[in-house]
Amino acid sequence: MSKGLKYTLLLLLSLTSVFFAEVIAGSSKFPLYDFWGIIVVIPLYGLHTIILLYIIKRYLKNRKVMFATLYFAGTIFGLYEA
C-alpha cells in the first residue's frame, strides 16, 4: 500500500470518528467546518483512533480481527470520552 493511500485512509478514518462522536451524539453540529473542529477536534480524535488502530494491529499481528477486539477498542475510546 502506498503512503499516500495510507494517509488518505487514516484521514478518512479520523473524520469518520469525529462525525460519529460529535455529530451523531449531538455535541457539535459542524465540527468539520469550524476553526476549533479543524484545529483541535479532528487531530485529537484522529490521534486516538490511529493509536488504537496501531495497538490492535500490533496485538493481532497476522491473526483475524474479531468483533470482541474491535468492541474492546471502542469501549476504551468511549471511556476516554466519558
Domain limits of the chain?
Answer: 3-81
Rounded to two decimals, what is the model's pTM? 0.76
| CB-based contact 49:14 (threshold 8 Å) | yes
In this prediction, residue 59 carries a pLDDT of: 82
Instruction: Decide if pLDDT at 82 tops 80.
Output: no
Helix, strand, coil share (%) of the chain residues, nearest 5: 75, 0, 25
Q: How confident is the model at residue 63 (pLDDT cuts 50, 70, 90)?
A: confident
Contacts of 10 (CB under 8 A, 6+ apart): 46, 50, 53
What the block records as the C-alpha cell of 19 is 462525525
